Amino acid sequence: MDAIRTSGLSKTFGDIEAVKDLTLEVRKGELFGIVGPDGAGKTTIMRLLSAILTPTSGDAWVAGHSIRSEEESIKEKIGYMSQKFGLYEDLTVMENISFYADLYDVPLSERPSRYKKLLAFSNLAPFKDRLAGNLSGGMKQKLGLSCALVHTPEILFLDEPTGGVDPVSRRDFWRILYDLLKEQVTIFVSTAYLDEAERCTRIALIHKGKILIIDEPSRVRKTFGLPMIEVSTPDARAAGVFLNALPGVLSVGMYGDRLHVAIESKEVAVKIMDQLKTEGFSIAGEREIVPSLEDVFIAMVREQEDKEHRA
């Protein structure tokens, strides 16, 4: 049985379709990522699957329970960490964890061993008596995760858990997640960071509430199926605008003074390079590259928007 399964799951707020016909399966013990920019529908999906929101149509089953009719059973099986986790800044680290243990009715006899384990894996043991309000951003995220895990959930929902966290703390946070996978906890995480998507077992790229593709990160890159070139130029922004308007160019991504240009064929590369030089752009270098996840996402979004424009 899958840990999570959805069928035609949709959520509308007035005229806004936040989630459109979401159908996916998440296997037990995997780290599944929903990847997309702000406003793509990631948080709404999280709240639907956590039985916080009621769907407009469709259904989902989390740990075998329907989000429509078995909300309380679901809440016993999951841990949920929102973007702004509900820590009490005037309580200490230990008091926050104890508070959530009370909320989840964790048996008193089991609490000492759970507290010791949570403090150890999060590296918060030296700070157990510190007020939550005095913790760094990364430490607050670790405390939020500890609170979400205090009742030993089967499935963990993490909504952009590393937003605004420094690179070192992000790395530590993902190390903790990998340790949880060894204990067969299913992790469902949303992120806007494409480098974090690479760390997931499988990912779903989402745009405007609709899934573009679901697969392993390496396989998503391979599905691109079109050549891509990297063009280095000191006037990258203007060159990108120029290239976007040329026939045969599917998408252009800008990375400092480098442009990643998806093209219909290798023959197109020669033509667009000639046109750039004719327009007077200074070219420092040009080479064929393997598309990154970000390149694939940009190209898919553009293709989707072109379809909507033609419809």
Domain termination site, one of 175, 204, 221: 221
Q: Is residue 304 assigned to a domain?
A: no
DSSP 8-state class, residue 291? P
CA distances from 153 to 29, 84, 149, 251 (A): 12, 20, 6, 42
In this structure, the answer to whether residues 281 and 202 fall within a common structural domain is no
Measured distance between the N- and C-terminal CA atoms of the chain, rounded to whole angstroms: 39
What pLDDT shows up at residue 264? 87
In this structure, the answer to whether residues 245 and 125 fall within a common structural domain is no
Q: Which residues, including other chains, have CB under 8 Å from residue 244's CB and lie 6 or more apart?
A: 251, 252
Task: Calculate mean pLDDT across residues 106-117.
Answer: 93
| Domain region containing 94 | 4-221
Q: Per the structure block, which two tokens stand in for 84?
A: 């702004």
* Domains identified in the chain, total number: 2
- Distance (Å, whole) CA 235 – CA 233: 5
Q: Per the structure block, which two tokens stand in for 272?
A: 């667009």
Burial class (CB in 10 A: 0-12, 13-18, 19+), 121: middle
Centre a 10 Å sphere on the Cβ of residue 178 and count the other Cβ atoms it contains.
11
In this structure, the answer to whether residues 165 and 269 fall within a common structural domain is no
Give CA torsion, residues 36, 37, 43, 46, to 10 deg: 10
CA distances from 72 to 8, 50, 63, 233 (A): 22, 10, 12, 57
Length in residues, the chain = 311
Reported as a single tens digit per residue, the pLDDT across 36-56 is 988 899 999 999 999 999 999
User: How far is CA 297 from its chain centroid?
Assistant: 13
DSSP for 23-57?
Answer: EEEE-TT-EEEEE--TTSSHHHHHHHHTTSS--SE
- The least confident of 34-48, 122-136, 217-231 is 217-231
**Percent of the chain residues topping a pLDDT of 90:** 63
* Average pLDDT value for the chain: 90
Domain termination site, one of 197, 221, 245: 221
257: left (phi over 0), alpha (psi -120 to 50) or beta: alpha
DSSP for 65-110?
Answer: EETTT-HHHHHHHEEEE-TT----TTSBHHHHHHHHHHHTT--GGG
- Distance (Å, whole) CA 257 – CA 46: 37
What pLDDT shows up at residue 311? 62
In this structure, the answer to whether residues 122 and 80 fall within a common structural domain is yes
Reported as a single tens digit per residue, the pLDDT across 288-301 is 988 888 888 887 88
Q: Is residue 299 assigned to a domain?
A: no
Task: Calculate mean pLDDT across residues 16-43.
Answer: 94
In this structure, the answer to whether residues 211 and 247 fall within a common structural domain is no
Q: Is residue 90 assigned to a domain?
A: yes
In this structure, the answer to whether residues 14 and 107 fall within a common structural domain is yes
Residue 111: pLDDT over 80 = yes
**Percent of the chain residues topping a pLDDT of 70:** 98
